[in-house]
Amino acid sequence: MFLLISHFYKKSICNTIYAGAVRLFDVMQWTDRIHQIKILLVLGTVFVAVASLAVAHFLISDLEQEERKKMEVWAEAMNTLNNADEWTDLNLVLKVLNGNTTIPVIVMDRAGNVQTFRNLDIPADSSADRLRQVAAIGMRLRAEGRCIRIDIDGTAGKDYIEVCYDDSRMLKLSVVYPFVQLGAVIILIVAAVVALLTSKRAEQNRVWAGLSKETAHQLGTPISSLMAWTEILRERYPQDELIPEIDSDVKRLQLIADRFSKIGSTPESVPANLNELIAHVVDYMSRRTSDKVCFELRLPSEEVTVNLNVQLFEWVIENLCKNAVDALDGTGTIIIGIIQVGNRVLIDVTDTGKGIRKKDVRHVFRPGFTTKQRGWGLGLPLAKRIVEDYHHGKIRVKESEPGHGTTFRIELRN
């Protein structure tokens, strides 16, 4: 009879673990795909940025050279106009001078006085004020070397005028456009990544809920059968000392099924005494752990009350304690302490075990990650989900040193 119950028990657990493993594999595949897509999007953004800036650089260089050539022709036309006599045909000269409708140009004499200007929109209260502003622009362009010098005939180079020019509006827009385009691409990429992460999160939530509900469902039937068998055994062997232990484990299995069903739905939180909750979990763990493992409680003298779902939060502490026991390799100390700082409650679970490597710390809460030979990598991700999603708290690796131990910290608000 005991062998039958044991076989039934193992078969139920194996089926449940297998179902969980299949869904975990799906989650990990989706996570890997998201990671690959993010890498591709980043590489695509870098490529687009480099290509856009490179193409823009060549186009802007060509436009600058083209405008320089146009201004050289315009300066030559101005020179022809200044040196014209009564026999000079000015039709072509005037056509060239009047044809410049885009490039800002200022003609200045040797002393820096403005002779004329074109294509400059300068708001001013008076003509004198406008000329002062134009002269300032002309001096800036002269300092930048953006001037073409025209010697006046008959002065042997002692007198001259300078044609100073600025970038046209189209050229200025061409300089800005690649950065606007790059900004738009980055915004689109960020939006795509956010959408993917949101989709990933929603998918993970659906997988967690589905996995939890199916696990609770798969455990439900065998648990009911085990309860019935336990009652039959109690009637047939009322003096057997093992039957209460079997009944206790069956009730424990029922509690686990209830926990899974709560993860698949929205659990309710009620005010709970955190000191009693942790003491209860430690009492349960210490009776099922080697005598070489010492549990040490560091609880405040006053009662600490926090809104919790007791069953789920007990599960979190159990998972942390089980991980600590596994890290001890049979002997060591596990310290569980509560610290209250203002409206925050800090729970530290410390072990003196083998610790976690630095490169593994950031992966410990990732579903499927484990350093154990027979681990599934579900305990810590489940604890993180319970703490952060259902209790709006935080859980992290506070500190860990290989060979000296690890401390996990949970932060709640009361």
pLDDT tens digit at each of 414 positions of the chain: 544 554 545 555 555 555 555 555 555 555 556 667 767 777 777 787 788 778 878 888 888 888 888 888 888 888 788 777 777 777 888 888 888 888 899 888 888 888 888 888 888 777 888 888 888 888 888 888 888 888 876 665 677 888 898 888 888 888 888 788 778 878 887 887 777 777 766 666 666 666 666 666 667 777 777 788 788 888 888 877 777 877 777 777 777 777 666 665 667 888 999 999 999 999 888 888 888 999 999 999 899 999 998 888 998 999 999 999 988 888 899 999 999 998 899 999 999 999 998 888 888 888 777 777 666 677 888 889 889 888 899 999 999 998 889 999 999 987
Q: Containing domain of residue 380, as a range?
A: 267-413
- Helix (H) / strand (E) element for 26: namely helix 2-82
**144 within a domain of the structure (yes/no):** yes
60 contacts: CB under 8 Å, gap ≥ 6: 171, 174, 175
DSSP letter for 103, please: S
Phi, psi of 161 (to 5 degrees): -125, 160
- Residue 336 burial (10 A CB sphere; 0-12, 13-18, 19+): buried
Q: In what order do the strands lie in the sheet with 344-351?
A: 293-298, 332-341, 344-351, 405-413, 394-401
For residue 216, with 0-12 CB atoms within 10 Å meaning exposed, 13-18 middle and 19 or more buried, which class applies?
buried
Asked whether residue 272 falls in the same domain as residue 390, the answer is yes
| 253 is a domain residue | no
Q: Are residues 400 and 277 in the same domain?
A: yes
Last residue of a domain, one of 136, 166, 196: 166
Strand order in the sheet with 114-118: 114-118, 105-109, 160-165, 147-151
pLDDT value, residue 3: 46
273 and 390 both lie in a single domain: yes
One domain, residues 300 and 409: yes
Question: 381, 367 in Cβ contact below 8 A?
Answer: yes
Q: What is the pLDDT of residue 129?
A: 86
Cβ-in-10-Å burial (0-12, 13-18, 19+) of 363 comes to middle
Bridge partners, 396 (sequence order)? 409
Are 280 and 397 part of one and the same domain? yes
Long-range contact pairs involving 331-335 (C-beta distance under 8 Å, separation at least 24): 331/290, 331/292, 331/293, 332/292, 332/293, 332/294, 332/405, 333/293, 333/294, 333/295, 333/296, 334/293, 334/294, 334/295, 334/296, 335/296, 335/298
Confirm whether 236 is domain-assigned: no
Tell me which residue of 32, 373, 30, 34 sits closest to 208, measured CA to CA: 30
Q: Coil, strand or helix: which one is 267?
A: coil
Structural domains counted in the chain: 2
140 lies in some domain: yes
Compute the Cα dihedral for 242, 250, 410, 408 and give only its sign. Answer: positive
Instruction: Give residue 2's pLDDT.
Output: 45
Tell me the CATH number at 278. 3.30.565.10
Tokens of 146: 């953006």
162 and 276, same domain (yes or no):
no
Residue 339 domain-assigned (yes or no): yes
Q: Which of 142, 166, 190 is the last residue of a domain?
A: 166
- For tokens 């000392």, the residue is 241
Residue 289 lies in a domain: yes
Q: Which distant-in-sequence residues (6+ apart) come within 8 Å of 389 by Cβ?
A: none
Q: Which residues 6+ apart lie within 8 Å of 8 measured at CB? A: 222, 225, 226
Q: Let me know if residue 400 belongs to a domain.
A: yes
User: Would 197 be classed as within a structural domain?
Assistant: no
CA separation (Å) from 34 to 3, 29, 197?
Answer: 46, 9, 8
**Listed residues 118, 136, 166: the one ending a domain:** 166
